[in-house]
Structures are given as structure tokens and as C-alpha cells.
């Protein structure tokens, strides 16, 4: 897995952008209808989950034939936190 970036953005920034897009699409409400905090205010574990999600989405786009392997993200830690 590429530890760097995609499309000129750091993975963490891509994750924050995806989170903001999710927030925009839901009126800044989470699945319970509660207000969503800013990305930087999220617990590190949730920021990590968003980064894992966008990395997997990129993997799906890059390797269309077999994009599975979602389980590989269990316990994953972003390189900048190691």
C-alpha cells in the first residue's frame, strides 16, 4: 500500500475531504442525525478509519479485477502514526 499520497494530496487530506463531502451530503449530520464535528476534532481512531476507507476506494479504482481485501485494514495504522 502506498504510504504517500494520491493525486497530489496526502492520504490524510483525501480522508478529510471525503469526510467533508459526506458531511455536506447529509447536512453535516451523522447517521444518528447528530451534528458532525470537524475532521480534526474526530478521535484519531475515526480519522484513521476514514483514511483506510479512502485508501481502499483508491485500491478499488486502481485494481478493478480484484478489489477485495477489506479485512486487511483491521488494525491498520497510518504511516505517520507509526
pLDDT class of 73 with cuts at 50, 70, 90: confident
CB-based contacts of 76, cutoff 8 Å, min separation 6: 48, 52
C-alpha atoms less than 13 angstroms from C-alpha of 45 in its C-beta half-sphere: 2
Q: Which three cell numbers stand for residue 28?
A: 453535516
What average pLDDT does range 41-56 have in this prediction? Answer: 95
In the chain, domain spans:
8-77
pLDDT class of 1 with cuts at 50, 70, 90: very low
What average pLDDT does range 40-65 have in this prediction? Answer: 89
Amino acid at each position: 500500500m502506498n504510504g504517500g499520497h494520491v493525486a497530489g494530496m496526502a492520504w490524510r487530506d483525501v480522508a478529510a475531504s471525503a469526510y467533508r463531502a459526506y458531511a455536506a451530503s447529509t447536512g453535516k449530520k451523522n447517521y444518528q442525525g447528530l451534528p458532525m464535528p470537524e475532521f480534526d476534532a474526530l478521535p484519531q481512531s475515526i480519522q484513521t478509519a476514514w483514511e483506510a476507507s479512502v485508501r481502499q476506494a483508491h485500491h478499488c479504482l486502481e485494481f478493478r479485477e480484484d478489489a477485495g481485501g477489506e479485512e486487511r485494514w483491521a488494525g491498520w495504522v497510518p504511516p505517520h502514526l507509526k
